[in-house]
Amino acid sequence: MEKENPKNSKKQEQLDTHKEDSTNKHLTTNQGVRINDNQHTLSAGERGPSLLEDFIFREKMTHFDHERIPERVVHPRGSGAHGVFEAYESMKEFTKASFLSEAGKKTPVFVRFSTVVGFRGSTDLARDVRGFATKFYTDEGVYDLVGNNIPVFFIQDAIKFPDLVHSIKPEPKHEMPQATAAHDNFWDFASLMPEATHVIMWILSGRGIPRSYRMMEGFGVHTFKWINEEGKVTFVKYHWKPTLGTHGVVWDEAQKISGMDPDFHRRDLYEAIENGNYPEFELGVQIVAEEDEHKFDFDLLDPTKLIPEEIVPVKKVGKMTLNRNPDNFFAETEQVAFHPGHVVPGIDFTNDPLLQGRLFSYTDTQLIRLGGPNFHEIPINRSVAPVHNNQRDGFMRQTINKGNVNYEPNSTGGGCPFQVKMKDGGFVSHTERIDAHKIRARSKSFNDYFSQATLFWNSQTPPEQKQITNAFLFELGKVERQEIQKRMVGLLTQVDKDLAKNVAEGLGFQVPDGPMKPVQGGVPADDDPADYEPVNNKQAVKEDKTLSMDFTKKGDITSRMIAFLCADGVDENSVKAVKESLMEKSAMVKIIAPHGGKIKTSGGSEIPVDKTFNTTGSVLFDAVYIPSGAGSIEKLMESAEAVKFLHETYKHYKPIAMDGDAKKLLKATYIEHLVESINQMEQGVIIKDSNSGLADDFIKAIGQHRFWNREETDKIPT
């Protein structure tokens, strides 16, 4: 019997009838209606709220929200933890929110950290934005602060969100690459959306690959309103500040960690809590009086802008401590449902067009992901405040409602449950006058796309600027179409001329004179999807030190992972003295050796081995110590893996300490000449004839995290 050609099969014919080619076609809705404006949500005036009647936005967002089941469309890979938030002082002057009403008031919380782009099985170490979502179980109901580890976003209007995510996800023709933006589709989109330039600078900095979820900042991204008992409005921006400081890893580390332990961040969070090293974050707010809304040289409602702390300092209002791991990952971390629309009295929304779209999108997403309208009844999502309403039925209903009344108003049920007056804690939306035309447009006050990208660049130290430049070279180097590379570098000319020049040279072409117009149908576009005239307001603040990770809190080595490289013949006293000093500071010590089991010391005792060189690597540790012991050092000098361990530690700017015979190990490395005559504390390489005083200097070095001034790191083979 002749085999059927799959290209001529009935099934293939059936599939062919559903194929669609958009080349040189007009943009339409799913109903075939041609779309005139796909860049702006319909709103009441340029700075007004988005309108529910915008069927184009609702169709686009609804389709997007339902594209993946069952994992989240974005933020699918996450880790969660329970904890408690404690207020520092009463904030009644600004908000009537109960959980901020008095000093010492405690509120239970659940936090989910996540990456954005990759699937559930992807690596923790992708260069990406991180989600930082907090659910406050307040006595007035659930409040969700749903943010990221970066204070600004890619787009200004939620109608572009499906396009952003489609572009950054794996390309649809082959579903590659995974968990990365380093491909044509994303950079094509980014080069056509200059408003994304600011956030891209953040992502390509050290913020894009945190050392730990416990060591990254969190932001609410949007400007929100706080409202007090008298109805007075104050604008706020939210910040989470980690008490361990803000730290990252370098790109070479990230790639290797992804191979050695793709669960690195998940494991780090889980083990820290299990070991009693509870992550702590202080909640801070930038407070802006209502009458000062328009005093800045940027628009307060623009989600691609931040308020420099040089202008408005962050006020610390409380501390969150994460002290308990989930009992079941699926039931809690996977089923938790966040929503920026889950607010309590005293907190309200602004007309930020991205926030307005999120208020619709999140409920729509949970309906498909969690199976219906009763996702609030899943234990992790349940309010600790009593819930009484006339909602009934639906998929997965758990509450057994008594009585015969499921409508309001009613008399047969005594009018219950009844509406709550404002003075008794009822939620009342802020009264705001709106007198505007229905329009698809964005306020001209949003049109400065580059000033804050320049501010961020100028605020970085030279090593941080080098890291950003190299990140652009990697990301854009993966792009196959040179016109996309050139268009993106054209935008970088508006950020910093030297940055653009260095990236262009690294990619192998002349730097463009400025932003380049896209083409449609092979010719320059008449109606661009973005305003390509270089708009830069030259804002007053030119540099803000708080934007540099080098400015972060330093000195605390709690939970830092320290590798001790040892072999048979190690000096027991060297190991014991330094280990005890580190553990007194709550650091974690692991013995790394050429073989498992136990190693014998020079005195004849035995020390258990935690990891072998075959099962771990320097990238999983924050610092390395090589204790003395002639026999141990001889064996390490013969171990290529031990030498590689030391090379990588130096190359990644981490602290190194060694005493006695250990310095002989340098003879087997490429770094001997680099560390012979250096200032030890300036470059974080501590070498002593004995362990006397070594531990104190080593602890100080670990507290600095990295030593960026090391020479010739690019020449160190690993």
Q: Say what the pLDDT of residue 19 is.
A: 58
Q: Say what the pLDDT of residue 574 is.
A: 94
CA 646 vs CA 474, 551, 565: distances in Å: 25, 27, 9
How do 588-593 and 561-565 pair as beta strands? Answer: parallel
Q: Say what the pLDDT of residue 55 is.
A: 76
The answer to whether residues 223 and 299 touch, using CB atoms and an 8 Å cutoff, is no
Q: Say what the pLDDT of residue 521 is.
A: 55
Query: Of 178-182, 200-204, 384-388, 679-683, which gets the smallest average pLDDT?
Result: 679-683
CA 452 vs CA 306, 309, 490, 547: distances in Å: 8, 13, 17, 11
Token code pair at residue 75: 């933020």
Q: Say what the pLDDT of residue 3 is.
A: 44
Token code pair at residue 286: 């930038």
Query: Of 418-427, 431-440, 540-549, which gets the smallest average pLDDT?
Result: 418-427
For residue 550, the number of C-alpha atoms closer than 13 Å in the C-beta half-sphere is 15
- Mean pLDDT across the chain, nearest whole number? 90
Average pLDDT (303-330) is 96
Question: What pLDDT band is residue 1 in, cutting at 50, 70 and 90?
Answer: very low
Instruction: Locate the domains of the chain by residue range.
Output: 74-202+210-349, 458-550, 554-715
CA–CA distance, 378 with 142 (Å, rounded to integer): 13
Q: Percent of the chain having pLDDT more than 90?
A: 69
Question: What pLDDT band is residue 28 in, cutting at 50, 70 and 90?
Answer: confident
Question: What pLDDT band is residue 490 in, cutting at 50, 70 and 90?
Answer: very high
pLDDT tens column, 491-502: 999 999 999 999
Options 1.10.10.10, 1.20.1740.10, 3.50.50.60, 1.20.1370.20; CATH of 458-550: 1.20.1370.20
CA–CA distance, 259 with 407 (Å, rounded to integer): 57
Q: Say what the pLDDT of residue 4 is.
A: 45
pLDDT tens column, 239-289: 999 999 999 999 999 999 999 999 999 999 999 999 999 999 999 999 999
CA–CA distance, 417 with 389 (Å, rounded to integer): 6
How do 561-565 and 623-626 pair as beta strands? Answer: parallel
pLDDT tens column, 63-77: 788 766 477 888 889
Q: Say what the pLDDT of residue 639 is.
A: 95
Average pLDDT (321-335) is 93
Q: Say what the pLDDT of residue 675 is.
A: 77
Determine the 3-state secondary structure of 248 from DSSP. Answer: strand
Q: Percent of the chain having pLDDT more than 70?
A: 92
Quick check: is 148 catalytic?
Answer: yes
Determine the 3-state secondary structure of 376 from DSSP. Answer: helix
Q: Say what the pLDDT of residue 180 is.
A: 94
Question: What pLDDT band is residue 511 in, cutting at 50, 70 and 90?
Answer: very high
Average pLDDT (107-123) is 95
Closest Cα partner for 587 from 457, 437, 471, 699?
Answer: 699
pLDDT at 342 over 60: yes
pLDDT tens column, 582-611: 999 999 999 999 999 999 999 999 999 999
CA–CA distance, 522 with 147 (Å, rounded to integer): 40
**DSSP states of 64-133 as a string?**
HHTSSSSS-SSS-SEEEEEEEEEESS--TTT---GGGSSTT-EEEEEEEEEESSS-TTS-TT-SS-EEEE
Closest Cα partner for 343 from 136, 183, 541, 514?
Answer: 136
CA 155 vs CA 195, 222, 354, 392, 530: distances in Å: 6, 12, 8, 38, 11
The answer to whether residues 648 and 592 touch, using CB atoms and an 8 Å cutoff, is no
Peptide bond between residue 76 and the one before it cis (omega within 30 degrees of 0): no
Average pLDDT (410-431) is 82
CA 210 vs CA 126, 133, 181, 250, 620: distances in Å: 10, 16, 17, 9, 13
pLDDT at 2 over 50: no
Q: Say what the pLDDT of residue 679 is.
A: 67
Q: Which fold has domain 554-715?
A: Rossmann fold (3.40.50)
Token code pair at residue 567: 């072999």
pLDDT at 11 over 50: no
Which of 148, 149, 325, 502 is flagged as catalytic? 148
Token code pair at residue 184: 């044509």
The number of residues in the chain equals 718
Closest Cα partner for 689 from 523, 574, 544?
Answer: 574
Q: Say what the pLDDT of residue 16 is.
A: 65
pLDDT at 575 over 90: yes
pLDDT tens column, 196-231: 999 999 999 999 999 999 999 999 999 999 999 999
pLDDT at 9 over 70: no
pLDDT at 97 over 70: yes
Question: What pLDDT band is residue 420 in, cutting at 50, 70 and 90?
Answer: confident
Buried b (16+ CB within 10 A) or exposed e, 78-116: bbbbbbbbebbeebeebbbbbbbbeeebebebbbbbbbb
CA–CA distance, 108 with 98 (Å, rounded to integer): 13
Which of 5, 24, 36, 75 is flagged as catalytic? 75
CATH fourth-level superfamily of 74-202+210-349: Catalase core domain (2.40.180.10)
Average pLDDT (633-640) is 95
Peptide bond between residue 409 and the one before it cis (omega within 30 degrees of 0): yes
**DSSP states of 151-188 as a string?**
SS-S-SSGGGHHHHHHHHSPBTTTTBS-S---SHHHHH
Q: Say what the pLDDT of residue 6 is.
A: 45
Token pair 């005559």 is found at 677
pLDDT at 425 over 60: yes
Fold: same for 74-202+210-349 and 458-550: no
Determine the 3-state secondary structure of 403 from DSSP. Answer: coil
pLDDT at 412 over 80: yes
The answer to whether residues 494 and 538 touch, using CB atoms and an 8 Å cutoff, is no
Q: Say what the pLDDT of residue 424 is.
A: 79
Question: What pLDDT band is residue 302 in, cutting at 50, 70 and 90?
Answer: very high
Q: Say what the pLDDT of residue 526 is.
A: 53
Longest dimension (CA), the chain: 90
Burial of 649 (C-beta count, 10 Å sphere; 0-12/13-18/19+): buried
User: Which distant-in-sequence residues (6+ apart) come within 8 Å of 376 by Cβ?
Assistant: 337, 382, 383, 387
CA–CA distance, 22 with 279 (Å, rounded to integer): 50
Average pLDDT (96-101) is 96
Q: Say what the pLDDT of residue 13 is.
A: 63
The answer to whether the Cα torsion of 597, 600, 606, 607 is positive or negative is negative
pLDDT tens column, 126-172: 999 999 999 999 999 899 999 999 999 999 999 999 999 999 999 99
Question: What pLDDT band is residue 631 in, cutting at 50, 70 and 90?
Answer: very high
pLDDT at 537 over 70: no
CA–CA distance, 246 with 121 (Å, rounded to integer): 26
Taking the alpha carbons at both ends of the chain, their separation in whole angstroms is: 59
